[in-house]
Structure 1
Amino acid sequence: MSTLKELQETFQRGILAGDDTILAEVNDSASEDREVLFGVYRHAYVARLAEVLAADYEQLHAYMGDADFAQLAKAYVGAHPSDQRNARWFGRHLPDYLRQTPVYAGHPEVAELAALEKALNDAFDGPNAEPLSVLHLAALTPEDWPALELRPHPTAIRLSFATNAVDIWSALKAETAPPKLRALAEPIVVLVWRQDVMARFRPFAAEEAMMWNEAAKGVRFGALCEMVVTFGGEDGAELRAASYLKSWVDMGMLANLQPR
């Protein structure tokens, strides 16, 4: 006779891997045989996880449609059975799954939509930090500025997109017809972060993306201004750098600013 632990493990294999060994422990009912009865559990497991996936990737679901998303969910459940007690993390592999699975790899916007939705969910659940404010900047001396190091908010997530997935997502969120898929001439950087209690995202133009990337590496503000000069020309460079910094502060993208 099997122990309770052995029965539980066999039952789990039956649900997750399609192993029929557990059927030896299941009795037929008066109206249905054991295959049908156990099939109810298998279906319910996949259906519940598909619901979780649809909730986490709402706009991807809208973009793909019910039938194609259901097919994706079933395939994803088979490739990545739930391994966490909290269902919140079940869909964490979906963007990579879409990039790496041949049937979806030829549709990069699908993986990018998933990456954006995952980042928004992760930013919403991310750690708290007091955002940098204009008052913090006002307390700095002129001598502090060249050595300042910018610190991204801990919820900040940098993405790179090769398609107009951001425009597609925004249209779907607004419940309007999404634009036609378009490959971008150059990839764009999209920053996702949480401001107050709302997850947000913002595409960066090339120069601002460069400044953010370098700032996130710990490059000091004086050197960042020099990089802006090199990138976009000397004319108005200081104003451009200051404008980027002000927008980051106004939108809560930075956690603090540390003089050295």
Structure 2
Amino acid sequence: MTALETLQAEFQAHLLDQPQHFAAAVKLGGMGVERRLAIYHQAYRARLVETLQDSYGHTVTYLGEDWFESEARAYLIAHPSTQPSLRWFGAAFPAWLAERRPGDPDIAELAALDWALRGAFDAADAPVLTAADLGALPAEAWATLVFALPPSYRRLRLTHNTLAIWQALDQDDVPPAAEALGHELDVLIWRRGSSPHFRSLGALEAAALDGLAGGQSFAALCETLSERFPEADIASEAGSLLRRWVEEELLSFASRR
């Protein structure tokens, strides 16, 4: 490394409480060296904690500010910021919480929901498919039609009553006690207009969205669903889902193979 790169690396090591000799490179004068370095040391942590608090608002409320700050400060040591933008600093926070607190999966799931909603909020824009667009398609187009999901599309699989906890926190109510669900719950997250939304999914809709995400044509998707859910009226179910997705602005555009 160059002398400048070495100095920068030692300054970062100082901020992260790692062994270094950075203080020896600081010029004397005015405020003492240790006091001056302490200002940067604290400011660095405070800014990153603020970033996590902004990204994980409901998780902050759930844990309490002091407890969350303690977790955030431990996280920033384990996962130093590596991106030019602070927007991505908290990306590993839910997984890190899951490993750090395996006995409290509700905390990691709540954080994952916070992060997914933030991601949906500032995802790239995309054209929204409308009912008029569908109505304008010729009948023969449906044999090869492929629908695309928008950049804001996210999915989570939850094992606890995390949605109920999030909703209570969002209404400034006392959240229910964390409870394991009888089965895993698929959750859809996306942006409608300028606001992020989420809702739970049934098995058939979850499978249908998986097919769309995998690039299946609508016709092939219907065939797959018929095989997987032989007891269901797939023609009716698929029509209802398509209408709902269009109303919810969940399809970004259509193409033909």
TM-score by length of 2: 0.89
- What's the CA shift string for 1:25-48, capped at 9, x where partnerless? 447778x86444423321221111
- What's the CA shift string for 1:150-197, capped at 9, x where partnerless? 211122112211112122112111211112212122212111122222
Name the structure 2 match of 1:165. 162
**Separation in structure 1 between the aligned mates of residue 106 and residue 80 of structure 2, nearest angstrom:** 24
**Separation in structure 1 between the aligned mates of residue 202 and residue 145 of structure 2, nearest angstrom:** 23
> Kindly tell me: are residues 175 and 29 of structure 1, through their superposed partners in 2, closer, same or farther at Cα, counting changes over 3 Å?
farther
- Structure 1 alignment gaps of length 5 or more: none
**Separation in structure 1 between the aligned mates of residue 144 and residue 84 of structure 2, nearest angstrom:** 45
Name the structure 2 match of 1:143. 140
Local SS of the residue matching 2:89: helix
**Separation in structure 2 between the aligned mates of residue 234 and residue 8 of structure 1, nearest angstrom:** 64
Name the % identity.
36
Q: Which amino acid in the other structure matches residue 90 of structure 2?
A: G
Superposition pairs of residues 64-103 of structure 1, within 5 angstroms: 64-101=63-100
Q: Which amino acid in the other structure matches residue 163 of structure 2?
A: V
- Structure 2 alignment gaps of length 5 or more: none
Superposition pairs of residues 26-105 of structure 1, within 5 angstroms: 26=26, 34-101=33-100, 104-105=101-102
Q: Which amino acid in the other structure matches residue 42 of structure 1?
A: H
Pairwise CA distance, 1:20: 4.8
Pairwise CA distance, 1:226: 3.7
Name the structure 2 match of 1:189. 186
Name the structure 1 match of 2:10. 10
Q: Which amino acid in the other structure matches residue 140 of structure 2?
A: E
Name the structure 1 match of 2:172. 175
Name the structure 2 match of 1:115. 112
**Separation in structure 2 between the aligned mates of residue 226 and residue 7 of structure 1, nearest angstrom:** 62
**Separation in structure 2 between the aligned mates of residue 109 and residue 122 of structure 1, nearest angstrom:** 20
**Conserved? CA contact 1:119–1:192, under 8 Å:** yes
**Separation in structure 1 between the aligned mates of residue 4 and residue 142 of structure 2, nearest angstrom:** 66
**Separation in structure 1 between the aligned mates of residue 181 and residue 105 of structure 2, nearest angstrom:** 12
Question: What do you get for the CA RMSD once the two structures are aligned?
Answer: 2.4
Local SS of the residue matching 1:254: coil
> Kindly tell me: are residues 59 and 235 of structure 1, through their superposed partners in 2, closer, same or farther at Cα, counting changes over 3 Å?
closer
Pairwise CA distance, 1:70: 1.2
Number of equivalenced pairs: 256
Pairwise CA distance, 1:143: 3.0
Name the structure 1 match of 2:238. 241
Local SS of the residue matching 1:185: strand
Deviates more, 1:33-42 or 1:85-94: 33-42
**Separation in structure 1 between the aligned mates of residue 219 and residue 20 of structure 2, nearest angstrom:** 66
Local SS of the residue matching 1:143: helix
**Conserved? CA contact 1:188–1:206, under 8 Å:** no
> Kindly tell me: are residues 226 and 50 of structure 1, through their superposed partners in 2, closer, same or farther at Cα, counting changes over 3 Å?
same
Pairwise CA distance, 1:94: 0.8
> Kindly tell me: are residues 77 and 235 of structure 1, through their superposed partners in 2, closer, same or farther at Cα, counting changes over 3 Å?
closer
**Conserved? CA contact 1:131–1:252, under 8 Å:** yes
Name the structure 2 match of 1:250. 247
**Separation in structure 2 between the aligned mates of residue 33 and residue 43 of structure 1, nearest angstrom:** 16
Name the structure 2 match of 1:209. 206
TM-score by length of 1: 0.88
> Kindly tell me: are residues 4 and 229 of structure 1, through their superposed partners in 2, closer, same or farther at Cα, counting changes over 3 Å?
closer
Q: Which amino acid in the other structure matches residue 13 of structure 2?
A: R
